[in-house]
Structure 1
Amino acid sequence: MSKLSNKYIAGFIDADGSINVQWKQGVYKPLLNLSASQATLQDEVLHLIKEEHGGRIRIKTIKDREYTELILSGATAEKLLSKIKNELVIKRHYAYAVLSVIEKREPPADLVATKKWLKEQRRVKSLPIPNFPPRKWLAGYFDGDGSIWTSYRKSGGHVQVSAGIACSWYDTEGIETICKAFGGKITPHGKSNNNVQQWIVSLAPSKAIKFLEYFAKHLVVKRDQADFILACSRMGNFRDGKTIHETLKNLKAHPHRLSEPGADVCALVANVKRIPSKLWRKTITAQATVGTSTSA
């Protein structure tokens, strides 16, 4: 696979990355750390970044689930952050703030004040917010935090396809630019949880094509999911709901590691039935009649 672009890595760091400064005890010189984590079964991107930019990998277990963490420190972290700082949408302001401290190469005159200032900068918005998200940035961001899912309606046999991204309340620049470009809505994620905001868009076939075609070819982890929904969308409908629903569910569980082969999307699409409108309506009418008779 070709190396990841700076825009893609910026989107991925905007989603799943962490930028922080450690202070060496005794001399209090700043040390930059740049890290990102993913479920181990989906850690392909982390290994691709390590191959190109260095760092170290560690595996940790949280609630019986394995996660892979990539950590870059010192000069390695500074080199990568300097490359991607202008491509960041969410963490751009903070990246510049951190680099301004790191590049001084000396202990701050007031360590407590410097730590406080950096903490404040983390929640300052990165302005201006782009009117349209760059394709490769969106791919990295969606691979990190995005999701595609289906709601299967047994009564009609079709599915409703949706996409969404959740983020912290002070990291909404990404979902704001995506919402401006592709519609949808931004709401609190979960009941009475204003600390997490979520962008959601319903993807009818034409909408799915417009949204996913824009960046799907740049995806890594969710490429097979996007390609599958795109192929189904080009059929003009999602009437073979059970097949689409089960296939997407299996694709989401499919491992994405450097050692794992990719899914055969063409073969999966071949299993989706092209149900004509007349036959579909006839099936719905029959189901409705049976339902009425049963309830009676």
Structure 2
Amino acid sequence: MNLRSCRTLGLKVAGLTALVLGPVRALSQEIGGVLDRPLDISRDGHMIDFILDKTILLVSIWFAVVLVALIWFIIRYRQREGHRRGHYFHGQNLPAIILQIAVGLLVFLTIDLQLDRLSMEHLEKTYYRYPPLEEALRVEIMPQQWAWNIRYAGPDDRFNTADDAVTLNDLRVPSGKPAIIQLKAKDVIHSLFLPNVRLKQDAIPGRVTQFWFEPVKTGRFEMVCAEHCGLNHYKMRGDFIVLEPDEFELWLKEAQRLSEIAFDPQDEDALWGWEWEERR
């Protein structure tokens, strides 16, 4: 290979590298500057972050492998003097089929199977193990177009009675105590998303769904609907506030007092709750 050929090859490789890495670098800067993860305020949110980081790592490794292979093929099979022209085929012979199956299995084993194993370990260790009801705060939420109806059991410790505390777009929980949330939609499918605890749960008409979490940091955060539910879906937001336990108890008592004052026994929609469904 003469000097001119080497220079031409070098320019081609440099151009290809810039073409691939330029958009990747710009995208990573955009993601790093704009799409930072929300603050994790839950006891177990780090498990979700770990799965996300693991996914990015495994996919990046395979991306690098493919990128190196592409560059090697470009160099190895480039058009040059004295080199026999390459023969292109559709990968239908036996060695090509075996290679495709082997690569597909390798990708499945190193990415999909690994992520599935880690996810199931986290689910079985934490999210599927609900805390005892006597140790947890219970909350019922009925989403509708386009608001969050939220209910806390009153002094009688039963839901759907006149002494319940009822709020609109205002979910409050105490720090350091598990909270079990049950949902049932009034109209269409909604999805309660709490970015700061890394959890999301669908709310379905006629069916009760639930999830739980334990916040460990106080503050004011946001809850949103993550399922397109109609024209004003983008407006379906609410406050998610974590209080110190003493502050929460004071707030809950005041919310119960105000709800009892506002309760209208003639209003058919006032008792929209349901009998708590205990699940394990």
Q: TM-score, normalised by structure 1?
A: 0.28
